[in-house]
């Protein structure tokens, strides 16, 4: 990993350890070493995940527009689909790629070997790609869940990744006009940031919900 990445993140530092790179939030003295093997339980139970109800069909081509630490991309891939996962933040993508190289679990490795990771801006990708996707997936992490403490991974993501609700809504607006695919938006259960849109259905869990929208582009 290129330590020069940190020049854009003054509140963070990195330590290279035997178990991988450890990112440190210097303001709060928090540390995290990303391990994708930690997703073993949720991937083993992926058939019970709400995304298995939302994604209709088999061998779907899915564009994950907000990779983050790649948990949801792995779930979608584990359900038997093809996933392209885009992350705009260079530090987050570097941590994911480092963690991918350290996977010990063969099942998880087989999943991550099939995911295509791209560093870049999702709306730029959508504007320029000729590839057709069955579903596009967004998890902007904008709202704060007041009912439970976020995980350490979520806390780090919220500190590293810049986020703006107006920008996110504009991305969804443009995406709807540019694709004929279905669009999934994940948000916390008590949030209503995306009620502006024409939602086909909402799938609820205890702490999050998934909105299903339809792209309006006609070939």
100-110 tens-digit pLDDT: 999 999 999 99
The model carries a pTM of 0.93
Span between the terminal Cα atoms of the chain, in Å: 42
For strands 116-119 and 182-188, give the pairing. Answer: unpaired
DSSP 115: P
Does residue 78 carry a pLDDT above 80?
yes
Predicted pLDDT of residue 143? 52
| Mean pLDDT, rounded, of the chain | 92
Query: How distant, in Å, are the alpha carbons of 19, 142, 144, 154, 165 from that of 195?
Result: 43, 14, 17, 23, 13
Q: What is the pLDDT of residues 121-158, one digit of tens each?
A: 999 999 999 999 999 999 987 555 444 557 888 888 88
Q: What is the pLDDT of residues 82-91, one digit of tens each?
A: 999 999 999 9
Predicted pLDDT of residue 2? 64
Predicted pLDDT of residue 128? 97
Nearest C-alpha neighbor of 184 from the set 105, 73, 78: 73
CB contact at 8 A, 172 and 164: no
Q: What is the pLDDT of residues 41-50, one digit of tens each?
A: 999 999 999 9
Predicted pLDDT of residue 149? 56
């Amino acid at each position: 990993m290129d330590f020069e990445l940190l020049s854009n993140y003054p509140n963070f530092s990195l330590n290279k350890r035997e178990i991988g790179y450890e990112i440190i939030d210097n303001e709060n003295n928090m540390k995290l070493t990303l391990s994708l093997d930690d997703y073993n339980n949720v991937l083993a139970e992926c058939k019970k995940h709400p995304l298995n109800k939302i994604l209709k069909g088999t061998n779907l081509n899915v564009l994950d527009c907000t990779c983050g630490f790649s948990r949801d991309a792995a779930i979608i891939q584990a359900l038997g689909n093809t996933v392209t996962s885009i992350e705009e933040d260079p530090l987050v993508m570097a941590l994911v790629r480092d963690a991918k190289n350290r996977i010990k679990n063969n099942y998880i490795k087989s999943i991550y070997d099939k995911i295509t990771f791209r560093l870049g801006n999702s709306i730029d990708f959508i504007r320029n790609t000729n590839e057709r996707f069955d579903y596009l997936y967004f998890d902007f992490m904008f709202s704060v869940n007041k009912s439970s403490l976020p995980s350490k991974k979520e806390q780090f993501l919220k500190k590293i990744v810049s986020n703006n609700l107006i920008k996110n809504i504009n991305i969804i607006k443009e995406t709807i006009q540019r694709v004929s695919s279905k669009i999934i938006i994940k948000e916390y259960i008590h949030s209503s940031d995306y009620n502006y849109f024409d939602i086909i259905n909402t799938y609820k869990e205890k702490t999050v919900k998934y909105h299903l929208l339809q792209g309006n582009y006609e070939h």
